[in-house]
Amino acid sequence: MGLGAISIIRCSGNKIDKIIGAFFKKSLSPNRAHYLNFKKEEKVIDDVIVINYQSPKSYTGEDMLEIMCHGGSVVYQIIIKEILTIEGCRLANPGEFSERAFLNNKMSLLEAESICALINAKTEAAAFAARDALSGKFSKELVEVDNVILKTRVQVEALLDFSEEDIETDGLLEIEKYIEESKGKIIRLIRKLENNRLLFETSKIAVLGMPNAGKSSLINFLTDENVSIVNEQAGTTRDVVSKIFNLDGMPVTVFDTAGIRETGDLIEKEGSKKAIEQAKNVNLIIYMYDLNKGMQTEDLEILKSLEKNNKNILVVANKTDLLEKIDYKHESASFGTKAFISIKKKENLDDLKIKIIDHLKKAISESTPNLYHMEHLKHLKAAFQEMDNIDLNLNELELLAENLKKVQEEISWILDNKDEERVLTGIFSNFCIGK
């Protein structure tokens, strides 16, 4: 429910003719836009544009009706309420239109899922990745892998038919070649899915540290906006400030937090508490300290307590500009500092971004996926593991045949998982209502 110039109400199923008869009092030729009054008995509720799609030429594959009425929060509600008075009509579940499209063979699961990703995309890169998947590119590449594995299996079966003495090593060499080829392809697909995950899910980063380390300056740099007040006074930020931004195509929410220190100031104390709470619920903590002051005992204590709840911490030393020459190596070794930057002089900031992305990738791959898409990743990884276990040995061709069969099972899970109830509910519940 948003505010816009036009609202679109879509209906699907076998009650479309009834709806048309009840509110437009005439039949509508299909696939044309009709400008009509939507009437309740004789009273005009709104003037609307209506399109009647006839099965199977519609999004869901069923008869469908789309009513474009005036926007705002009232008109569409009246129209929906009226339509629901028709016997057999009910509100759609999230993603039900796409689910029906899938059940009526209008699209594959991969496509349905990509539509969901496209709608939810928060950056251009995410939208393009979803479009890519929607065009069936991913499925095509996977079918290629499947074909190579099939060839390998045929080859193995052929060798099995010979007695040991007759086996030529040529056959084995060919099998090895196929296996290497498939492994390479599977790894590439895994990387792609992992990257997609970063694109489709908004990752969360919290920046923590003692007062004045430069946390707010970092937030402003990353978001390229004046999100937080920066001031030489310690204790400037007192609340958690959040902002979603685009980190090389990935949607990321950053949280700026109050500097942590022992203080008598109640507001600052509350701020510290909130900062530590926030750090528990992010994919990555950036811990910042002032290199000019060096890492203090307090820093080490804070780091230790943060680690109890979140192991994914990137330690960053700021203000390199204040020191003439520093032995970074020593700092990295003793405190695990991963990046030395100067926000003021814009030093090493690109390098920091790369490190942030690397850490996010790791964090995300360890967390539970909420996109069904990631079931694919699980099966691809299982397929790769199965291939990695292969020990090419003439005496163990039966085992090899078994390995390859399992690999194909994992792949076909992704390619044709039609009747998995779990899959259906999992994926379509991620959709918004009306899609």
Ligand X SMILES: Nc1nc2c(ncn2[C@@H]2O[C@H](COP(=O)(O)OP(=O)(O)OP(=O)(O)O)[C@@H](O)[C@H]2O)c(=O)[nH]1
Enumerate binding residues for ligand X (CB under 6 A).
209, 211-217, 230-232, 234-237, 258-259, 318-319, 321-322, 342-344
Q: Determine contact, residues 201/279, Cβ cutoff 8 Å.
A: no
272 binds Mg ion (CB under 5 A): no
Answer for which of 216, 278, 320, 342 binds Mg ion (CB under 5 A) is 216
Q: How many residues bind Mg ion (CB under 5 A)?
A: 4
Q: Distance (Å, rounded) from C-alpha 46 to C-alpha 258?
A: 52
Structural tokens at position 413: 């899970």
Residue 39 DSSP SS3: strand
Residue with tokens 């009840």: 22
Of the pair 8, 240, the CB lying nearest ligand X is at: 240
Q: How far is the CB of 218 from ligand X (least distance, A)?
A: 7
Q: Determine contact, residues 252/324, Cβ cutoff 8 Å.
A: no
Alpha helices in 281-396 (DSSP H): 297-307, 328-335, 349-366, 373-388
Q: Distance (Å, rounded) from C-alpha 288 to C-alpha 274?
A: 17
Q: Determine contact, residues 64/28, Cβ cutoff 8 Å.
A: no
Q: How far is the CB of 318 from Mg ion (least distance, A)?
A: 12
Residue 342 DSSP code:
B
Answer for which of 220, 237, 278, 283 binds Mg ion (CB under 5 A) is 237
Q: How far is the CB of 215 from Mg ion (least distance, A)?
A: 5
Of the pair 293, 344, the CB lying nearest ligand X is at: 344
Of the pair 288, 383, the CB lying nearest ligand X is at: 288
Q: How far is the CB of 289 from ligand X (least distance, A)?
A: 10
> Which residue, 109, 111, 127, 128, is CA-closest to 119?
127
Q: How far is the CB of 93 from ligand X (least distance, A)?
A: 45
- Residue 235 touches which of ligand X, Mg ion, none (Cβ within 5-8 Å per kind): ligand X
Of the pair 149, 343, the CB lying nearest ligand X is at: 343
Q: Which residues contact 299 (CB under 8 A, 6 or more apart)?
A: 209, 210, 287, 289, 335
Answer for which of 55, 202, 236, 263 binds Mg ion (CB under 5 A) is 236
The partner residues of 207 in beta bridges, in order of sequence, read 256, 286
Of the pair 293, 418, the CB lying nearest ligand X is at: 293
The residue ranges that bind Mg ion (CB under 5 A) are 215-216, 236-237
